[in-house]
Amino acid sequence: AYFAEQAPWVLRKTDIERMNTVLYVTLEVLRIVAILAQPVMPNATAKLLDALGQPEGDARQFAALGTPIRPGTALPAPAPVFPKFEEPAE
């Protein structure tokens, strides 16, 4: 709800600083969720943490939950975390 309500695609035209904050908060929430979900989804969360520019090792441990992403962290080119769902043919 936060992302959709904040509408960073609209903020891009009116308030770049706020847009940057919304995107940062969204990425930080994704980072925390990825760290917490590692025990049940190790492959998917590894891809997500890669996409968030989080190095392997300590940055991916539960102890890193309180260490936020550094603003300005370079992100790699986007890549899918999950395969595209295709509706089975009838």
* Residue range 3-36, pLDDT digits in tens: 999 999 999 999 999 999 999 999 999 999 999 9
The fourth-level CATH superfamily of domain 2-66 is Isoleucyl-tRNA Synthetase; Domain 1 (1.10.730.10)
Share of the chain above pLDDT 90, in %: 81
Q: What pLDDT is recorded for position 72?
A: 87
Q: If we measure between CA atoms, which residue out of 81, 72, 84 comes closest to residue 50?
A: 81
The pTM for the full model equals: 0.85
In the structure encoding, which two tokens stand for residue 87, read together?
């509706």
Name residues whose C-beta falls within 8 Å of residue 28's C-beta, 6 or more positions apart in sequence: 68, 69
Separation between Cα atoms, residue 15 and residue 77, nearest integer Å: 25
In the chain, DSSP finds a helix count (H) and a strand count (E) of 4, 0
Please report, for the chain, the start and end positions of each structural domain, with discontinuous segments joined by +: 2-66
pLDDT band at 50 (very low <50, low <70, confident <90, very high): very high
